A and B are shown apart, each in its own frame.
Chain A
Amino acid sequence: MQITFLTFDGTPYTVDADEGMTAMEAAINNGVDGIEGDCGGNCNCATCHVFVDPKWSGQVGEASPMEEALLASRSDLAENSRLACQIELVAELDGLVLQMPESQFI
């Protein structure tokens, strides 16, 4: 399956991913800048913040309370915010588009 990560200025990076991995792993494994994942995908650090493309909101689903709490620490929080480490890539998410916030770029 494929996932597209958009940088904050809209440049797309489309990467191959395997079902069962997380969107964060898909980004890290493919060297996509803008997803840090400092805590290793443990839902601890909020450095893999993404904005889910509105077309995909329904399929991606809602954040857990733990994730929601971490997202609340982000000053760039939006309605479509998620942590990429908490998005498990199931078959229906083939083609998913996620945008990365500017603050995750140095």
Chain B
Amino acid sequence: MSDAGVVIIGAGQAGATVASGLAQAGYQGSITLIGEESYAPYQRPPLSKGFINGDTGIEGLLVKPESYYAQKHIQLIKGCRVQSIQPGSYSVQLDNGEQLSYGSLVLCTGSRPRALSIKGADLKYVFSLRNIDDAQAIKDALPEKGRLVIVGAGYVGLELAASCVKQGLTVTVLERAARVMERSASPQVSEHYRAMHEAAGVNIVCDVNVLALQGEQQVTAVEVEDGRVWPADVVVIGVGAVANTELAQSVGLQCDDGILIDDQCRSSIESIYAAGDCTRQTHALLQKSLRLESVQNATAQARMIVAHMMNKPAPRSEVPWFWSDQFDVRLQIAGIVQPDYTPILRGDPDSGSFSVLHMLDDRLQALEGINRPMDFTLGRKLISEQIQVNTDSLMDESIPLYPPPVMTKSG
């Protein structure tokens, strides 16, 4: 490896894990971690939960204490953007005029909230939620008693709704699809979450297209296509995220809704790796091209890069997994839920603890567990090993999911 060291662009969880992993593995060259925000690397998941509630402060979000980086000889450059990459000369140009050489470059540029191009989207008190500053601005704007309208019933929107309705706000969630969490969850789970939110007082409205945000300077209402209007003091838009691939594209890295990387997280240009939300990769276990937005994906890809750079054995590929905490209920998803799988219910949804197992040809492909941690853990093993199972035994709660009962031929 070149003496010029490793430069990591993007100081989110992927970038931080590459940096700390290299330091831990005894990498001898320089490690430079460049972040756009003014904070040391931090965890984003609590922003819609503990941070909004006030349970967690900025300190509690940090991946490592700020002093860690200097201690491990990692140069952390905050509040700085990379203007351009020169792969020919192995260097990057920063917006502060500085130029840095690299032996290896790692792009961890993340994703950003998808913008809604509707009238009024630039009004005051209209937010999206991606980073600390967004979350702080929302927190500051939320009145003690007032009306919050959230556009989009994905994880961010619903987690925020759960946090805010608990604080006594009037919360409405407007969703374009026919059900909540439509992109990632099954209809059974969507229905459970809709009911749960409604029971807590959240007003969930599906099948609506937001037409415009009304107001002079600050937002006062949200108008949907059929003419209905919801008064609002604060609006948060949570309609998905877009991979930040502009920098990668500017140097000709192959991208397709994400920077394309191979199984060792290498991009199409030599000495340039990528990890996290900004990447698209054929998943080693699932053999599907995926762009995943998750902590687990970010850290797994980061550790793959460290292993590759340090000539260590590659970490074992894991089934992708996700979690969402809303109210006191934990949703854990393993694998990617797809409509062509056959869903099987395990447990009684009315009890508040159940799983939906998604099968293809007697093999488990994905699992959604609601307050069902053991199903989640054992289901991950079943998905990863692709063992043929008897579907009747999966429905029987007295039998653990793993190891599965031996298949016997009847008759």
Interface residues of A (CB under 8 A from B): 28-29, 31, 33, 36, 38-40, 42, 44-45, 47, 65-66, 68-70, 72-73, 105-106
| Segment among B117-125, B232-240, B374-382 that sits at the interface with chain A | B374-382
Which chain B residue has the least Cβ–Cβ distance from A37? B63
Which chain B residue has the least Cβ–Cβ distance from A29? B65
B299 & A40 in contact (Cβ 8 Å cutoff): no
A sample of 15 more A-B contacts (CB under 8 A), given A31-B64, A70-B373, A70-B377, is A29-B65, A31-B68, A38-B17, A38-B295, A40-B46, A40-B61, A42-B323, A44-B323, A45-B296, A47-B299, A68-B373, A69-B377, A106-B24, A106-B310, A106-B312
B152 touches A (CB below 8 Å)? no
Give the docked Cα–Cα distance between A45 and B17 (Å): 15
Which chain A residue has the least Cβ–Cβ distance from B26? A106
Partner of B65, one of A31, A38, A39, A45: A31
Give the docked Cα–Cα distance between A44 and B332 (Å): 9
B401 to chain A, nearest CB (A): 11
Give the docked Cα–Cα distance between A104 and B71 (Å): 20
Give the docked Cα–Cα distance between A29 and B64 (Å): 7
Mask, B67-91, CB within 8 Å of A = 1, is: 1100110000000000000000000
Partner of B21, one of A28, A29, A44, A106: A106
Chain B interface size, as a band, is 35 or more
Please, could you name 26 A-B residue pairs with CB atoms under 8 Å apart, sorted by A? A31-B64, A31-B65, A33-B20, A33-B24, A38-B17, A39-B45, A39-B295, A39-B323, A40-B43, A40-B45, A40-B46, A42-B325, A47-B299, A65-B373, A66-B330, A68-B374, A69-B376, A70-B377, A72-B377, A72-B378, A73-B377, A73-B380, A73-B381, A105-B24, A106-B24, A106-B312
B313 to chain A, nearest CB (A): 10
Which chain B residue has the least Cβ–Cβ distance from A67? B373
Give the docked Cα–Cα distance between A69 and B24 (Å): 28
B306 touches A (CB below 8 Å)? yes
Which chain B residue has the least Cβ–Cβ distance from A65? B373
Give the docked Cα–Cα distance between A38 and B378 (Å): 20
A98 to chain B, nearest CB (A): 18
B303 & A106 in contact (Cβ 8 Å cutoff): yes
Q: Which 8 A-B pairs have the closest CB atoms?
A: A69-B373, A69-B374, A40-B43, A33-B24, A73-B377, A106-B25, A31-B68, A38-B299
B325 surroundings in chain A (CB, below 8 A) = 42
A84 to chain B, nearest CB (A): 15
Which chain B residue has the least Cβ–Cβ distance from A71? B377
B307 touches A (CB below 8 Å)? yes
B20 surroundings in chain A (CB, below 8 A) = 33
B303 surroundings in chain A (CB, below 8 A) = 106
Q: Which of A36, A40, A73 has the most CB of B within 10 A?
A: A40
Mask, B351-384, CB within 8 Å of A = 1, is: 0000000000000000000000110111011000
Give the docked Cα–Cα distance between A50 and B45 (Å): 24
A65 surroundings in chain B (CB, below 8 A) = 373-374
Give the docked Cα–Cα distance between A73 and B377 (Å): 6
Given A38-B296, A40-B43, residue A28 in contact with residue B323 (CB < 8 A): no
B21 surroundings in chain A (CB, below 8 A) = 106
